[in-house]
Amino acid sequence: MQIAFLVGLVLGMLWFLEKILGTPMVIRPIVVSSVIGIVLGDVKTGVMIGASLELIFMGAIQIGGAVPPDVLVGAGLGTAFAISTGEGSEVALALALPIAILAQSLKVIVFIVRSWFMDFAVKLAENANIKGLVTLNIGGLLLQSLMYFVVGFTAILFGSTAVEAFVNSIPAVIMSGLKAAGGLLPAVGFALLLQPMMDMKNILYFLLGFIFVSYMNLPILAITIMGLVLAFIITYEMDKGPGGLKASNAIDDDMEGLFDD
């Protein structure tokens, strides 16, 4: 009961903070899983699961009317179930995406309910009732936060035992397959994110990174620093002509002098 309450409270509060503070990205998996790990007393597992889930949900961002899988619920419940069952990141990776897709439908239902507030909001705006608009906005936000609390509380309260029994009943062969699939999911998520970026102009950079990782065994931090240096050179040196930055600065100075005259 206490764990279910805490998980539901975390989900509801993170959603409230995400919207009331202007989208500071506190509902991303790296934050959600870490907070769940703190609440459940296993910070290390929470952080590791959050980093893995971030690769899967990296491209899950709501744009316009499209509603992506619910990252907050998927990461929060996936991490909570993984820690409570003691199976670690493999269970979280296997459960997070299905849970997120299910929560996506619940979010759409709440959006439909909140759409009923629009006519009232228009009347408040016509009367310049700023206090009423703020109250209505906070009320809608609390309604959705309540949805996240109820989903998290109910899932953990009635689902943790069932999930634990289900995980324990899975044959070793199938569990090995789930672990293998869980290991592939971050790669699939990253590939989906990179797909619209891939073309003949930048494919060589991906191959270069693959060589650094596979054949030179360089750590991610070293490759990231090399990528930043390479991006700086390409952006500020090669694209500025023979003179690089100096030539660019000289041209800018000449243009400023021209307009000053």
Separation in Å, CA 163 to CA 152, 221, 258: 14, 37, 72
CA 233/CA 245 separation, integer angstroms: 10
Residue 176 has pLDDT above 90, yes or no: no
- One-letter identity of residue 117: F
E-strand ranges in the chain read: none
How many CA atoms are closer than 13 Å to the CA of 231, on its beta-carbon side? 7
- Tokens representing 146 are 């309540």
So where are the chain's domains?
A: 2-195, 198-261
Banded model confidence at residue 161, pLDDT cuts 50, 70, 90 = low
Arithmetic mean of pLDDT, 58-86: 73
Q: What is the pLDDT of residues 31-56, one digit of tens each?
A: 999 999 999 888 988 898 888 888 77
Residue 112 has pLDDT above 90, yes or no: no
Banded model confidence at residue 4, pLDDT cuts 50, 70, 90 = confident
Residue 62 has pLDDT above 50, yes or no: yes
What pLDDT is stored for residue 247 in this prediction? 47
- Tokens representing 156 are 């953990």
CA 219/CA 129 separation, integer angstroms: 57
CA 18/CA 35 separation, integer angstroms: 14
Of 62-71, 138-147, 243-252, give the lowest mean pLDDT range: 243-252
- Tokens representing 23 are 């989208």
Q: Select from 56, 111, 67, 58 the least CA-distant residue to 89.
A: 56
Maximum C-alpha span of the chain:
82
Q: pTM for the full model?
A: 0.60
Residue 3 has pLDDT above 60, yes or no: yes
Q: What is the pLDDT of residues 89-108, one digit of tens each?
A: 666 666 676 677 666 667 66
Residue 129 has pLDDT above 50, yes or no: yes
CA 15 to chain CA centroid, Å, is 13
Share of the chain above pLDDT 90, in %: 8
Share of the chain above pLDDT 70, in %: 66
What pLDDT is stored for residue 259 in this prediction? 46
Arithmetic mean of pLDDT, 17-26: 88
Question: What letter does residue 42 receive in the DSSP assignment?
Answer: -
Burial 38-65 (b: 16+ CB within 10 A, else e): ebbebeebbbbbbebbbbbbbebeeeee
- One-letter identity of residue 252: D
More confident residue, 91 or 130: 130
Phi/psi zone of residue 88: left (φ > 0), alpha (ψ -120 to 50 degrees), beta? Answer: left
Arithmetic mean of pLDDT, 206-211: 86
Banded model confidence at residue 64, pLDDT cuts 50, 70, 90 = very low
Q: Select from 163, 158, 182 the least CA-distant residue to 84.
A: 163
Q: What is the pLDDT of residues 216-255, one digit of tens each?
A: 888 878 888 888 888 888 887 665 555 544 444 544 555 4
